Amino acid sequence: MSALIRIVGIDPGLRRTGWGVIETLGNSLRFVASGTVTSDDKADLASRLCQLHDGLADVIHLHQPDEAAVEQTFVNKDATATLKLGQARGIAMLVPARAGLPVAEYAPNAVKKAVIGVGHGEKQQIHLMLKVLMPKATFQGNDAADALAIAICHAHHLGGAANRLKAMARAAL
């Protein structure tokens, strides 16, 4: 028997951090909410990180997810930009962890593969598949769409883990 699991997917960024909340029960997915937390690009780095922290903490408090999934950072040609993205990603992992949630990490190619079936694809393909998988889903921009895709990727991995545990339990009997 499956349990309803609420997942928050987080697409970290210093300027815009996307978030998406879904529920999964067995193989079914249900859209809950999505959005973007933004920081003031005229503010200093510490203030911007605080803005992301506070915005994500509000999302976690409002939607009460059971688990979180965060996209892994890719290496950029600009070391300074990569470092700043890494700091934003740290906030994206810290907030759900401080709320007591398990936090999973997924590479961008794994997210695309879970949603569109291949590890490389365009943003538009992700948007189209989100509408196929969850017809009631609404999202403003790529950041929120990517966050929903990250949550879906985590839901797919949960299903695989649950099935493996069931198989191991049956084998032990």
Task: Give the catalytic positions in this structure.
Answer: 11, 71, 143
Separation between Cα atoms, residue 123 and residue 166, nearest integer Å: 35
Contacts (Cβ under 8 Å, ≥6 apart) of 141:
16, 18, 36
